[in-house]
Amino acid sequence: MSSLLDDVDRRTQMVGQNRLELLLFTLGTRQLFAINVFKVREVIACPNLNRLPSAHSIIRGVATLRGKTVSVVDLALALSLPPIDPGRSEAFVILTEFNRSIQGLLVASVDRIVNLNWDQIRPPPRGTHKDSFLTAVTQIDDRLVEIIDVEKVLEMITGPARDVSDMVTAGVHEGGHVRRALVADDSAVARKQVVRALTQIGVEAVVFNDGRQALDALLEMAAQGPIHEQIGLVISDIEMPEMDGYTLSAAIRKEPALAGLYVMLHSSLSGTFNETLVRRAGADRFLPKFSPDELAEAVLTHLQSDGAKVG
């Protein structure tokens, strides 16, 4: 399975074309689940796990992987399913890197990797409980695949993000052009984190669940008047149903009425490849999730410099 994850250059070229690859896996039932391959560093047979008595209940133990001590999360337990037996022959650990950290996800079995268009990815069905770990769904071979909000799983362990520090908020003033940001993110946890940080620095957030919604809203605003009088900047996730952040950035640059908007891509995806892709898509900055202070400082720096230009 790990050999399927080696061709990083090929996948890097694919992103920016509104495409993604999903790693499919099971959690002890027939239901298929998925995670974006760009979050995956490696897939390995489950190693011996050392229990930590004081750890969160969904952490089955720690293992030394590639010279690093990594916590291994039982995804089934996180989703309120029966726990996975780490000793079963089909059990795997998906070694992931997102939100500036490395963690292992224990799964019952690994199925395969599939290549899809983002427009094949749909938001969760209406009526899905707000506390669900489901961030999106798709159909593969007439089977429903549930895409996991891994940021929400991580929040179970780490707790809610901290507030913006007093040092940053002490520097907030009413300068700047428009203190309003459009936020696009399919993760409920991430949206809550970003809105909280923006609110603490006096910036209003207009929130959307995916890139398509965000682009439609921006075009509607632009039809009503100059976009810079309505939105100070766009803060977009990269992984989103229907239209990803790279494609949203490129679409903004192609629209004359939107082309001058400042676009910040704010993603849990780690890796230096993001910087290259940000430039290719026409975005202004990449900021990894999630540091409230870094986000607040980046937003304030742009708004204040933008206000100085206008003034």
For 4-40, what is each residue's pLDDT tens digit? 444 444 444 554 566 788 999 999 999 999 998 877 8
Q: How confident is the model at residue 54 (pLDDT cuts 50, 70, 90)?
A: confident
Average pLDDT of the residues in 47-72:
86
Convert the pLDDT of each residue in 166-194 to its tens digit. 666 665 655 555 689 999 998 888 898 89
**pTM score:** 0.73
Q: Omega before 92 cis (within 30°)?
A: no
